[in-house]
Structure 1
Amino acid sequence: MRNNHLGSFLLLVLLAIPQISFATSSEQTWQKLRPNLAPFNDPFKQLTQPQLDDLGYFVALSEDITLIESQAPNYKKLPELKLKQTALEQELQSQNINVNYLLSQRKIVMQKREQAATATNPEIINSSTKHTVSGYLVPIEIENNAIKTAFLVKDSPYFVVAHQHHVPQPNQTIYVDLSKSNIMPSKEKVTLSGLLNTDDVKKNLKSADNHEMNYHAVYKLENVTIIEQQGD
């Protein structure tokens, strides 16, 4: 009896090994899509969300004031807007936030963030190495109820909380040609295997709640094999 239980246990372990392997391999693939870049100073990461909101409001208010001063300098509410601007700047400064410094860094940080988000990892691009990756398909083209092309993303784009939509970074988005795979649209996770290469694909797609999303992929998966599709 003990041997039977031991045999059953070993069988369960052996059956579980491929699933563990897929998950680990997939997670490693997503991580490797991001190259190791030199860190850069991003002072905005130190701000809380309310502080970012206040800074954004300060920028919008400042732009409005500049526009009014150039087009309608006698606008009666202009002094009131300037008082709000000053009060908001003082409030931020009381929290040790250097508004002028942050605004001077805005374009620099945006450029560096974009470079980091679109950078590809040359070490993972290999014509002879197949990579296994799990994620969710965002269809681009559908023909005869089968996905022809799609974006593969790590996290489900179908789970939206309070209409908050987030598009993955370009180097966390993979363009996939599935024209030979006969895979049907699904909100379930899929596991694919194929050759990774670089690409530059941009598409405006609509989410499940009809919100427009701007997807951008700098990778593509070629010679695709479907390893697993949940729900099948």
Structure 2
Amino acid sequence: MRRTPIAIVITAAAAILLTACTGPAAKPAYADERLLDAVRSGDETAVSAALADGADPDVRGDSDRPAVLIATRAGDVDIVRLLLAEGADPNAADAIQDSAYLYAGAEGLTDILALTLDHGADVTSTNRYGGTALIPASEHGHVAAVRLLIDAGVDVDHINNLHWTALLEAIILGTGSADHIETVRMLLDAGADPDIADGDGVTPREHAVSRGFTEVVMLLDAARATP
């Protein structure tokens, strides 16, 4: 049976469309959405499948939040590792200026923090308060995260929008716990200036004295006495 010219044109067009949709370089429909759903549900297998189908590892969800940050906020180390290995940007920030790197540092998620550093985290990047990852890490007394960040070269004397350094924040917002004392010790050992005052001119030592943090005062005095 002979095809009419119209039938031939329609058949050819259908073949072209089929090739475009199923060719090896094509990205299946909704791959990005599948990736976001898989990250949110913590399904590593589904994340791998979506990435294999061409999903963008830097796809963003609600609040302009990158997939790797969604996984970071969930504490899902394996999915963060997978996304970073596929090229996700550890510095990509959401609507409130959090990135996987900054969030992991602030929350003491050391495994994820180490991964972000291994994949090019910008240690000079700052959060919405103008602070480096080291400042909130010090506030919370996340000793392991503080060590990682110091070793990575974060500026120990960076001053945020409140005119606080990591040292000031560890004292002002800290509890004087063993972890906060160790945090102060590490910062001072790393060269933090014990004389940088807050915006009102109150020094770290004065804040420590007013809070009854005797051991912190001793550390500060020892640091100030060291040439």
Q: TM-score, normalised by structure 2?
A: 0.18
Indicate the structure whose relative CO is greater, using CA pairs within 8 Å and at least 6 residues apart.
1
More helix by share: 2
Query: What TM-score results when the alignment is normalised by the length of structure 1?
Result: 0.18
Identify the structure with the greater strand proportion.
1
